[in-house]
Amino acid sequence: MADTQVLGTCAPACGFKSRLPHHMSKPSRAKVKKLQSEAMKAAAERRAAKAEASKCAVTRGEVNLDAYAEVDGEWVSLGISAPARRALIDDGLYKLSDLRKVSLPALKELHGMGPNAIRILVDAMKKADITFRS
């Protein structure tokens, strides 16, 4: 604090002059518990709202993951992540040879296809001597 600051008066009844308030009592234990409870409830509501607003259908539990498990065997063996596998299956690509039907830029545009999945697919296609559609 600056030395030039003017001292304030606490209250008309008190008359105590100070830069800092001195009548601030410590909140009671019950009040602290109440405030903590309110904060926890607000945080839980924010988490619930965030989960509700989630864009991912898998996170919301709207996707039957067992249906994907029946057809993603080849992608699992390559070590591709689950979002990338779902993106491939949703696009009708069930095995490595199906990738001939799509171009690399179109594959990169699929929601869920990350750089690691693209790298794995390109390497597997090179080994199998398969090329993307141009």
Q: Which residues of the chain have pLDDT under 70?
A: 1-24, 53-56, 59-60
pLDDT tens-digit profile of 43-82? Answer: 999 988 877 766 667 766 777 888 888 888 899 999 999 9
Residues 55 and 100 in one domain: no
Residue 16 has what pLDDT?
Answer: 59
Stated pTM of the model: 0.56
Residues 102 and 49 in one domain: no
Residue 33, domain extent: 27-62
Q: Name the domain boundary from 12, 47, 62.
A: 62
Which of 99, 68, 101, 103 shows the shortest CA–CA distance to 82?
A: 68
Q: How many domains does the chain have?
A: 2
Which structure tokens are listed for 110?
A: 């699929």
CATH number assigned to the domain comprising residue 116: 1.10.150
Residues 85 and 40 in one domain: no
